Structure 1
Amino acid sequence: MSNDNPAANGQAEAQQAAQLSIQKIYLKDASFEVPGSPQVFQEQGQPQFKLELSQRVQQIGDTAFEVVLGVNLTCELAEKVVFLAEIKQAGIFVLEGFDDATRQAVLGTYCPQALFPYARSTISELVLAGGFPPFVLQPINFDQLYAEQMRRRAAEGQGEGLVGHA
């Protein structure tokens, strides 16, 4: 049975034409500091961890975008910084055939989700190489973070674009 609705046919063709490809995933920047070493290794107590995420999207071609996922992990014990791990995991993604809203959603959800396993591994390796017990970042729901960001921007009247924003 054929579909006689031209709008539905056009939408189906546009969805079939949309393509996403990952051109490259790379570590853009990494830093690990243990400001109180070696004394910090003698400290006892329950450490507190603070995780901060950031994202930056930059258009680098007609259909190519660099997405940078920033992960900052701070470990404190008795209000002293034990270690600080900071990385910027990046990727180049090519998105073709997406409307603006869908492209922004893909850049804000799928792309950081693709980068996250690499960031998780790098943070774990840095912490271990720094002489500390293994640390595993818990999964992050980037769909929920994106939805919250869009609600916040709508409330502030900033619009929906991610490109060029941190």
Structure 2
Amino acid sequence: MADDTPTPVFQIQRVYLKDLSLEQPNSPQILLEQVQPQVDINLALGAESVADGIYEVTVTATVTTKIKDKTLFLVEAKQAGIFEIRHIPEEQLQPIIGIACPGIVYPYLRAIVSDVCTRAGFPPVVLSEVNFQAMYEAQRAQAAAAAGTGNGSGIITTAS
């Protein structure tokens, strides 16, 4: 008896730089400062279905570097990947999109951010490794907690 279960498919179709911006709003004056800048790094993930079984997953890094209250430079880069994911059980699909796909895209993002900082005349900003599984689980826990509040806003309200 033959097994008619379709073979699961997980393939990278393309990895590409979707968006990149560099701003130096206070140059050249701020470049004369001899103070160690403060670096703030934020990461964001995005995913959407673009066709049947085809998903675009994005990882965005926003790097803001300031001296005192003035911006030295701001880099925002969005790296994306297109993935073919078919015949995967629904309970496994979200972890693949939220963990495996960002893990594939992220090294490209790290290289882009470091390179653009260097080309702008600054020391490279090296993004640290990210545990996408821990990030995914934290987001799921936060969503579950928000759903449990009853108001759907994710904000716990109390009467005083």
Q: TM-score, normalised by structure 2?
A: 0.86
**Amino acid corresponding to residue 51 of structure 1 in structure 2:** I
The reply to whether residue 58 of structure 1 matches residue 48 of structure 2 is yes
Identity across matched positions, percent: 36
Which structure has more relative contact order (CA 8 Å, sep 6+)? It is 1
Give the Cα–Cα distance (whole angstroms) in 2 for the partners of residues 81 and 92 of structure 1.
34
In structure 2, what is the equivalent of residue 29 of structure 1? 19
Deviation string 1:100-150 (CA, Å, 9 cap, x unpaired) is 121100100111110111100110111011110122111111111000000
| Alignment counterpart, residue 124 of structure 2, candidates 134, 137, 143 | 134
Runs of 5+ consecutive residues of structure 1 not aligned to the other structure: 1-9, 159-166
Question: SS in structure 1 opposite 2:51?
Answer: coil
Deviating beyond 2 angstroms after TM superposition, the runs of 4 or more aligned structure 1 residues are 16-19
Deviation string 1:18-68 (CA, Å, 9 cap, x unpaired) is 221000000011000111111121112221111111111110111000111
In structure 1, what is the equivalent of residue 158 of structure 2? none
| Alpha-carbon offset, residue 76 of structure 1 | 1.0
The CA RMSD measured in Å over matched residues stands at 1.8
Where do residues 107-122 of structure 1 align in structure 2 (5 Å cutoff)? 107-122=97-112
Give the Cα–Cα distance (whole angstroms) in 1 for the partners of residues 15 and 90 of structure 2.
23
| Alpha-carbon offset, residue 151 of structure 1 | 0.2
Question: SS in structure 2 opposite 1:17?
Answer: coil
In structure 2, what is the equivalent of residue 78 of structure 1? 68
Give the Cα–Cα distance (whole angstroms) in 1 for the partners of residues 77 and 123 of structure 2.
19
| Alignment counterpart, residue 31 of structure 2, candidates 41, 57, 65 | 41
Number of equivalences? 146
More helix by share: 1
The reply to whether residue 96 of structure 1 matches residue 94 of structure 2 is no
The reply to whether residue 149 of structure 1 matches residue 139 of structure 2 is yes
The reply to whether residue 19 of structure 1 matches residue 9 of structure 2 is yes
